Amino acid sequence: MLAALWLPFAADAANMGISPLIQNVPGRQTQSLDGHWKYILDVYELGYYNYRMAEDANGWFRDQKAQRPEDLVEYNFDTAPTLHVPGDWNTQEEELFNYEGNIWYRQKFQVRLQGAERKFLYFGAVNYICSVYLNGRKIGVHEGGFNPFDIEVTNYLKDGENTLILKVDNRRLTEGVPTVNTDWYNYGGITRSVSLIGVPSVFLRDYFIQLKKGSADTVAGWVQTDGGTSQVDIEIPELKVVQHVAVNADGYGTFEFKCNKLVRWSPDNPKLYKVRLTCGKDTVEDEIGFRTIEARGKKLYLNGEELFCRGVALHEEAPFRSGRAWSREDAMVLLGWAKEMNCNFVRLAHYQHNENMVREAERMGLLLWAEIPCYWTIQWENEATFENACSQLETLIGRDKNRTNIIIWSVANETPVSEPRTAFMTRLADLAHQLDPTRLVAAAMEKKELPGGIMTLDDPMADKLDVLSFNQYVGWYDGLPEKCDRVVWQFSQDKPVFISEFGGGALQGYHGPANQRFTEEFQEDLYRHSVGMLEKMEGLSGCSPWILTDFRSPRRVLVDIQDGFNRKGLISDKGIRKAAFYVMQEWYARKKAESAKK
């Protein structure tokens, strides 16, 4: 197994002071820093730059206060309003609704420093560039709005009150990942939880425990300690497993052991085992499932049985209130709707979703597709953009590699075919395979129409990825629903076919003739034709219609219909099922019955 590959790109310009990611933060000793944080809007970045646009050594990170009446300090966090963390700023304050820019946050917290304990600040996600200051010192900078990061603060903490200040900048960047144009809302802020992790001086920083590729009963993986080379013990009490793993000088060790009483995880039986890992004084508990996933010929196999992914795509947007979803409750509602639609699979689009979503899906028996936001027109020839994409891929896999319900890592969505693009994506796909040889690697590609109504995939990435996954909008962006009845799909590759997006829009409650765009009748009719087309598609191993719920997008401006929402949801932003929802629910019930018979 692989060691060096797991050191994230801490050194690149955009990420400064970021520590290697700590595995399984929910299983650690943590102090939550969530709550109401003071904030100051900084449209002109004057908290960072002086009037000569040079970084100001006396910037707002100093949290200064006027000491004497004559002192001139033109900002004050004490009297500032607050924003709730976690939470995007856009849906908390009307004036911030469409704000893209900088906001400074401050949180004060108490710490009791004890012995040799080490401390790390952990951020679930901050959109987009986050500069971190602790007690007046700049300790880190992180770029990426959806991936977690941590910073060691052992040497920067004070015994007693500490002051944490974040400069958060959610402006879209051409060289960014994602880049400037997306079909989702650019929610800004500290969108997921922040916590202070306490660990012993020698601790277990990371581990990977899954079934060995191609094996139904051999558990294999690795451990990575930090701060010393203590042995790591792995216990799975329910299976009477006790493994002692020796580590090398870098604190890295591998293991492999037979486990033939193991019940494998599946959507019908999402079996998880309590796993306890001990490294010196450090003990971490996790809930881990074990399953095999393979692509063989045109089929997918889960635990050796043919798998059809009854999926739906999902944005990380909160049900009913919109804004970024972050809580377990948000996840339970959204995933509950997917289950109600008879899904066994969810595509988490187009970026890393919060850990509550991934773990809740694992408990609920939902397989997952997880993706990084290499979306549309990324700067393929920009090496810093590539490193940023790699850093996001590393944390996507790094955080969730022990979540057995994730079967597909996706490196991109709808990217225009070109040589620089294919080179960029090939390197990403190779990295994903190296980081995790046990799962499938894919991307959402785009279909191509040939003369005579032949539909196919003509993308060089199709040969480099494990699944032929693509988005197709026959009947919505491409013709009318009847076109689904006429087209024929042909693929030259001997791989499973997966439709990562299809569908069309409807305003819930808007009724009319089936040829009237945006009526529920049009969407329902489109889904009926689409299902008919998919049923005829050779090698189809699954699909994820676009999309479970309506979601906010600045690209959707049609008054009285879209009003800032992409209306392709099968459920409205108010949680009301549209007619097309029942078309999918019924089809998936049939597919489920068919699979049960096999």
List residues binding ligand GCU (CB under 6 A): 183, 350, 413-414, 471, 501, 546, 566, 568
Instruction: Give the relative orientation of helices 419-435 and 383-400 as an angle to the nearest 10 degrees.
Output: 30
Identity of the residue, 28 or 350, whose beta carbon is nearer to ligand GCU in the bound complex? 350
Radius of gyration (Cα) for the chain, nearest Å?
25
Ramachandran class of 267: left when φ > 0, alpha when ψ lies in -120 to 50, beta otherwise: alpha
Tell the smallest beta-carbon distance from residue 446 to ligand GCU (Å).
8
Question: CA–CA separation, 348 vs 524, rounded Å?
Answer: 23
Q: At residue 319, what is the residue type? A: P
Instruction: Give the relative orientation of helices 383-400 and 355-364 as an angle to the nearest 10 degrees.
Output: 40
Three-state DSSP class for 295?
strand
Identity of the residue, 469 or 471, whose beta carbon is nearer to ligand GCU in the bound complex? 471
Identity of the residue, 501 or 525, whose beta carbon is nearer to ligand GCU in the bound complex? 501
Identity of the residue, 518 or 546, whose beta carbon is nearer to ligand GCU in the bound complex? 546
Question: CA–CA separation, 400 vs 432, rounded Å?
Answer: 13
- The two most distant CA atoms of the chain are separated, in Å, by 82
Structure token digits, residue 496:
């499973």
Identity of the residue, 402 or 413, whose beta carbon is nearer to ligand GCU in the bound complex? 413
End-to-end CA distance of the chain: 36
Tell the smallest beta-carbon distance from residue 471 to ligand GCU (Å).
5
Q: Can you say whether the dihedral through the CA atoms of 261, 267, 268, 272 is positive or negative?
A: positive
Burial class (CB in 10 A: 0-12, 13-18, 19+), 291: buried
Identity of the residue, 253 or 503, whose beta carbon is nearer to ligand GCU in the bound complex? 503
Identity of the residue, 189 or 373, whose beta carbon is nearer to ligand GCU in the bound complex? 373
Tell the smallest beta-carbon distance from residue 433 to ligand GCU (Å).
23
Tell the smallest beta-carbon distance from residue 236 to ligand GCU (Å).
40
Identity of the residue, 225 or 413, whose beta carbon is nearer to ligand GCU in the bound complex? 413
Tell the smallest beta-carbon distance from residue 447 to ligand GCU (Å).
11
Tell the smallest beta-carbon distance from residue 291 to ligand GCU (Å).
28
DSSP single-letter state for residue 519: S
Question: CA–CA separation, 499 vs 546, rounded Å?
Answer: 10
Question: CA–CA separation, 532 vs 475, rounded Å?
Answer: 12
Tell the smallest beta-carbon distance from residue 566 to ligand GCU (Å).
5
Tell the smallest beta-carbon distance from residue 183 to ligand GCU (Å).
4
DSSP single-letter state for residue 268: T
Identity of the residue, 183 or 400, whose beta carbon is nearer to ligand GCU in the bound complex? 183
Burial class (CB in 10 A: 0-12, 13-18, 19+), 133: buried
Identity of the residue, 186 or 413, whose beta carbon is nearer to ligand GCU in the bound complex? 413
Tell the smallest beta-carbon distance from residue 349 to ligand GCU (Å).
6
Report whether 98 contacts 171 (CB < 8 A).
no
Tell the smallest beta-carbon distance from residue 554 to ligand GCU (Å).
12
Question: CA–CA separation, 46 vs 303, rounded Å?
Answer: 57
Report whether 310 contacts 588 (CB < 8 A).
yes
Tell the smallest beta-carbon distance from residue 524 to ligand GCU (Å).
17
Report whether 181 contacts 162 (CB < 8 A).
no
Identity of the residue, 272 or 313, whose beta carbon is nearer to ligand GCU in the bound complex? 313
Residue 116 has a CB neighbour count (10 Å cut-off) of 10
Identity of the residue, 489 or 546, whose beta carbon is nearer to ligand GCU in the bound complex? 546
Tell the smallest beta-carbon distance from residue 350 to ligand GCU (Å).
6
Burial class (CB in 10 A: 0-12, 13-18, 19+), 296: exposed
Tell the smallest beta-carbon distance from residue 544 to ligand GCU (Å).
11
Identity of the residue, 150 or 183, whose beta carbon is nearer to ligand GCU in the bound complex? 183
Identity of the residue, 469 or 566, whose beta carbon is nearer to ligand GCU in the bound complex? 566
Ramachandran class of 532: left when φ > 0, alpha when ψ lies in -120 to 50, beta otherwise: alpha
Structure token digits, residue 260:
């033939």
Burial class (CB in 10 A: 0-12, 13-18, 19+), 580: buried
Burial class (CB in 10 A: 0-12, 13-18, 19+), 594: exposed
DSSP single-letter state for residue 377: S
Tell the smallest beta-carbon distance from residue 534 to ligand GCU (Å).
17
- Closest CB to ligand GCU belongs to which residue? 183
Report whether 301 contacts 310 (CB < 8 A).
no
Give the distance from CA 279 to its chain's centroid: 29
